[in-house]
Structure 1
Amino acid sequence: MKQRFKLLRFWAAVITAKCAIVILRLFKSGGTSLPGKLALKLYPQILDHLAGLFRVTMITGTNGKTTTSRIVLSMMEQKGLKVITNKSGANLSSGITTTLISALTLGGRPRFSHALLETDEAAFRTLAPRLKPETVIVTNFFRDQLDRYGELHTTVNNVREGISRIPDAVLILNADDSLCASLGRNAPNKVIYFGMGEGIYPESGASINSDAAFCIQCKSRYEYSSVTFGHLGHFRCPSCGYERPHTHVECSGILFYDSLGSHVEISGPDLRISVKLALPGLYNIYNALAGASFGLALGLDEKAIAAALSGFECGFGRMETIAIQDKELKMILVKNPTGFNQVLRYLLTQEKPFVLAFAINDRLADGTDISWLWDVDFEVLALMAERVRNFYVSGIRAEDMAVRLKYAGISTDRIRMEKDYRQLITRALQETGAGETCCILPTYTAMLDIRRILKKQFGLKEFWK
């Protein structure tokens, strides 16, 4: 009787959530979280039930989750697997519940064999034991939304606790991140490490930030033989000997690198490929390495891994490019100092003039504390100022962004404020010349608002597709 009651609650939760998804999407709402919230309210144990219906892969970390998810999805499709994934980026328990329920028939049977789930790093501790993943990919750890996540090591320990409760999962970890790599130490799990080869990255002037300058084991300062960005690189503690682990998948060469992408060599004991990546930036090379590591674990051959890496589609708002007549609009999500600095380094590779717009919000999903803007190296904008036609600031905290640009050395007569997103898009595109790019750098909720407008104007896909 008790088991039958649970099944009835499960079925009722599924039907309610599915009805909510249909209704919300009829009204052009994503329906990515509310249906899951309703299902969890009706049947709090529904995630435990759902987890048993799919073979689960989880991806977590501060930066790169969505793009890495897209690459991993390409790998799984190369293998011929039927996969459901939370493409919208709704990565808390409610969003993941919605995703899994959407993959069921009305009778509660799964229409997919596998589930690929991007997971918020703060929620990973409780979600991982419930979802029981076969594979977990951790991209990196950087300081992000201190008002929500707290101190960085708290986030790392939350993920560590989640991993400790899934000893059978294969871990795919960033070897160049001392925090991320530490998750594999003394763990019973099978671990696959990925990273950049010694000194092969194309950028110079890298400096180690304060996110993880000191040894996670003994608190001594790390020594680095090479650095890619932030605290990522070939590290070693001179006191206790903790050092970057040996990699199974490594970027062994960068043959070409510009504002459109890169051509890289990826190698390992069972892998050696040369592949063109459609997304620019060092951080996307790391995402590709994580994806290649997963492909290797999945049993794909070199040809299939190379095909998945060269053919994947970027996630919405993550270097998303929209062709508009004879010009293009590029939207790049920004959310923390390290990621923002990498976007600014990417802009340095732009050869043609461009318009640059910042849309900064401080809603809960963005992080209500925007003091992190002062940790971003906006001073590098002086190196590209002659190529920037104008600087626009928008969003709830437009004034704060304008002040930050002023102190970065940008002349105030070149900083234009436009809080109406429609007008921002119109004005910025009008100032963008033929063959040039308008770059919009929004925080998360600003990205959703701006993309909603762009969808109506230019017929983009819905963000949950």
Structure 2
Amino acid sequence: MKSNGQAGLSANDNATATGTPRTPWNAFATPLIGKCVRLAARLTHHGGSAFPGKVIEGIDPGFLARTLSRLPYGVVLVSGTNGKTTTTRMVASMFAQLGLKVFTNPTGSNFTRGVVSALLQQVSIAGHLNADIAVLELDEAYAVHFVKQVRPRYALLLNVMRDQLDRFGEIDNTARLLGHVAAATDGTVVLNREDPRIAKLAELVPDGTKVQYFGLSDDLRSFFPTDDDMHAADMRDTDDADTTAAESVAPADSATVSAVSAAPSATATDGSAAAATPTPISTNPLPADVTLTAVGDHTAEFLIDGTVRSTGVKLEGIYNLYNAAAALAVVRAAMIDATAMESSKLAKPAARRRIERFANAGTDDLINAVAQVTPAFGRGESIDVNGTRVELLLVKNPMGFRMSLKSFDPAGHDTMIVINDQYADGRDMSWLWDVDFTGLRGTGVRMVSGVRAWDMALRLEYDQVPVGKVEQDIDTAVDAFVKANPGTPKRIYCTYTSMLKVRAHLGHLTKVSDAGVGR
């Protein structure tokens, strides 16, 4: 295996998975104990969604590996700084649309114990998991622990950005963590070719494991800047250079994006029909299995097998269209493997039929599947509160916040920002000073809330953004915000724990779909 100086991982430094652990004598009781703990946690509102997993990890450490090792299609592991939850939802939804039974961790509880908790919800009392494949979102650091127990069959590695520096350290350390995942995957590793640190991880992939890429056409590169692009712009010497560079790497507004979709180089614009692309669309030497070639208002075009295909999408935000390219790439990798799988070896006829249906799916089926994916909870999720649309947008690092602000026009909306600094959010909130809030000057921010509400209000003041009110108590703030200006759409930007709090309180005001939080 090749070494990778940039990722800081060598062949002798791999985090390799152990074999399936021996079943302990008391393993028969693990599912029952876990379900009882989960029920108790729900009734007492204690411990959070990952608490049952923490208990089971203590009494039966092999439960996770033992259960997942029985899946005929193994595990798809999704990780990276931005987009994990939405991309995991895309991949899981597409597999299900194409006929497979899928186990996933839908709450965004992306630690190993969160996966165990999700398993406890799904397994039978006998410990059987009724699924063909698992699609799991893992935090970059906890992914290393996961692959020591379970070798993924597929790994989808999205990007590395400066995020929660108090946890991960500098960005190269985050790449090193993801390098452990690449080195432990035994089927196919799917990498973002536009992120140089992610693409470099191909050097760590073991012999026998395939590497595939997803990417962008050249004319879209400036809409999806890498971490290096963003910080290069920030380091310009003069204010004018700062402004010019920021515009050159910032995602476009909806008008600009629509213009790209209509440009001749963007090719097909005739709905689901396919059109041959006459000229190369990317100068990147790495071959992409799926390339995003055009984006519009809830539309996207992808180059697959030399043909550009258009589709509508239900996802919010142009950044999620690139996540869709990533999801398409990993599902295609599994489809290719399915054609070689001997389904006759599966004991149950129903399982054989599902595998055969999946293996026989075509690219049109794949595109139709991605068109059906809806936003993950708290990631562009829209909730109706007494006739007012309230949209939740998770923000957790400079790039994610910048992309959200650029993707959603504040005009005609009331805006609220909720910032907490708990462990899952990252304790260090200094990253807020790397976000450009000037786009909110015209509309202002009606409400600021959360533990770090006053820090956020100060940051907005420096960007000359008017703030209507600061209220640290989230429940009180949400009540006031939602009731003001009835009928005016609301948009709430929030960090992870504040998003859970906001969403839970909205559940007292209206019907909110159960995403599994606290179940």
TM-score (norm 2): 0.76
The residue type paired with residue 198 of structure 2 is C
Name the structure 2 match of 1:451.
Answer: 503
2:211 to 191, 215, 218: 191
Identity of aligned residues (%): 31
Do residues 340 (structure 1) and 340 (structure 2) align? no
Alpha carbons 2:67, 2:127 under 8 Å: kept: no
User: In the alignment, is residue 72 of structure 1 matched against residue 91 of structure 2?
Assistant: yes
Q: Which amino acid aligns with 1:456?
A: H
- Report the alpha carbon displacement of residue 203 of structure 1 after superposing the two structures with TM: 5.1
Aligned partner letter, 1:380:
G
The one-character-per-residue Cα deviations of 1:70-128 (angstroms, maximum 9, x if unpaired) are 11112111221111110011111111112223332111222222211111111112212
Asked if 1:319 is matched to 2:361, the reply is: no
Q: Are 1:356 and 2:392 counterparts?
A: no
1:423–1:244 Cα change, 3 Å:
farther
3-state SS, counterpart of residue 454 of structure 1: helix
Q: Secondary structure at the match of 2:293?
A: strand
SS at the partner of 1:185? Answer: helix
SS at match of 1:141: coil
Match of 1:159 in 2: 178
Matched, 1:287 2:308: no
Match of 1:245 in 2: 286
CA RMSD of aligned residues (A): 2.9
Matched AA of 2:490: C
- Aligned pair in 2 of structure 1 residues 146, 76: CA closer, same or farther (>3 Å)? same
What SS is found at the alignment partner of 1:122?
Answer: helix
The TM-score, its normalising length taken from structure 1, stands at: 0.84
Q: Which amino acid in the other structure matches residue 114 of structure 1?
A: I
Q: Which runs of 5+ in 2 are unaligned?
A: 1-19, 236-247, 253-282, 336-360
Question: Offset at 1:133?
Answer: 1.4
Task: Write the distance in 1 (CA, Å) between the matches of 2:84 and 2:304.
Answer: 23
Counting only pairs closer than 5 Å after superposition, residues 221-300 of structure 1 correspond to structure 2 as 245-254=286-295, 256-257=296-297, 262-269=298-305, 272-299=308-335, 300=361
Which position in structure 2 is the counterpart of 1:33?
Answer: 50
Q: Which residue of 1 aligns with 2:492?
A: 440
1:422 correspondence with 2:483: no
Aligned to 1:304: 365
In structure 2, relative to structure 1, the CA distance for the partners of 1:246 and 1:353 (3 Å cut) is same
SS in 2 for 1:172: strand
Report the Cα distance in structure 2 between the residues aligned to 1:253 and 1:173, rounded to whole angstroms: 20
Q: Report the counterpart of residue 52 of structure 1 in structure 2.
A: 69
Letter of the aligned partner of 2:231 in structure 1? Answer: S
Q: Would you say the 8 A contact 2:79–2:137 is kept in 1? A: yes
1:379 is aligned to 438
Structure 1 residue 281: deviation in Å? 2.5
Pairwise CA distance, 1:151: 1.4
Matched residue SS, 1:391: strand
C-alpha contact (below 8 Å) 2:220/2:294 kept by paired residues:
yes
User: How big is the shift at 1:62?
Assistant: 0.7
**Structure showing the higher helix proportion among its residues:** 2
The residue type equivalent to 2:416 in the other structure is A
Corresponding residue pairs, total: 426
SS of aligned partner of 1:377: coil
- The code of the aligned residue for 2:424 comes to A
Query: How far apart are the structure 1 equivalents of 2:439 and 2:199?
Result: 30
Q: 1:318 to 1:80 in 2, by over 3 A?
A: same
Residue 250 of structure 1 aligns to a residue in which SS? Answer: strand
CA distance in 2 between counterparts of 1:209 and 1:317 reads: 25
Is the contact made by 1:432 and 1:438 (CA closer than 8 Å) also made in structure 2? no
Unpaired segments of 5 or more residues in structure 1?
A: 215-225, 231-241
In 1, the alpha carbon distance for the partners of 2:483 and 2:321 equals 33
Equivalence for 1:83: 102
**SS at structure 1 position matched to 2:27:** helix
Q: Following TM superposition, by how much is the alpha carbon of 1:263 offset from its aligned partner in structure 2, in angstroms?
A: 1.3
The separation in 1 between residues aligned to 2:180 and 2:233, in whole angstroms, is 19
1:185 to 1:245, Cα distance in 2 relative to 1, 3 A = farther
Q: Deviations over 1:313-358 (max 9, x none)?
A: 211111111123442111101100000001110233x5x4211111
- Structure 1 letter corresponding to 2:215: G
Q: Which amino acid aligns with 1:318?
A: R
Report if aligned partners of 2:108, 2:137 keep a CA contact under 8 Å in 1: yes
Q: Distance in 2 between matches of 1:134 and 1:11?
A: 27
Instruction: Give how far 1:211 is off.
Output: 8.3
Deviations 1:349-378 (Å, cap 9, x if unpaired)? x5x421111111111111111111111111
- Which piece of structure 1 moves more, 103-112 or 195-204? 195-204
